Amino acid sequence: MMNKNKIIYPGTFDPITYGHSNIISRAANLFDEVVVAVAESSKKQPFFSLEQRINLAQEVTKNIPQVSVIKFDCMLVDLAHQLNAKIILRGLRAVSDFEYEVQLSGMNHQIAPDIETIFISASQEHAFVSSSLVREMASIGGDVSQFIDPKVQIALKQELLKKKC
């Protein structure tokens, strides 16, 4: 039986930002279960390892009981079927997200017509955040405290130091 109260929020989360956690907490107000699905995304050659991305997502969402964090490296619609979830959630920040998101949800719907994608638009203060810009800013010593959780900041600093050595 498909679970109508469960929603999957997939992404690379490299790392999770306040933009992501804002979407997650808003989804948790609407659904009984929000599954944050961290994609392996090996094609993107993520900066953080999959384990680190999962740990940080867990840390940031630990106070929201409806949220669980899992990893996946299969087709998103297959994951939805495995979890008996009917709905995929994506965040929309700017018009520029729209084209890719329509493509992604369209392809997914074509392969699995029983799965729907819904969108939450990012709130104004998070409309321009992206993980790669946060990493870039941090790598040149910029203050990223308004974009990411303090625990994520520490992890980012440590990882940048490690990669510099």
Tell me the catalytic residues: 20, 44, 93, 131
Q: How far is the CB of 32 from ligand COA (least distance, A)?
A: 21
CA 122 to CA 129: how far, in whole Å?
10
CA 54 to CA 39: how far, in whole Å?
9
Of 6, 8, 19, 156, the one binding ligand COA (CB under 6 A) is 19
CA 153 to CA 134: how far, in whole Å?
10
With binding defined as CB under 6 A, does residue 148 bind ligand COA? Answer: no
CA atoms within 13 A on the CB side of 21: 19
CA 3 to CA 136: how far, in whole Å?
39
First-to-last alpha carbon distance for the chain, in angstroms, is: 51
Binding mask 88-107 for ligand COA (x = CB under 6 A): ---x-x----------x--x
Q: How far is the CB of 93 from ligand COA (least distance, A)?
A: 6
Q: Which chain residues interact with ligand COA by CB under 6 A?
A: 10-14, 17, 19-20, 23, 39, 41, 75-76, 91, 93, 104, 107-108, 122, 126, 129-132
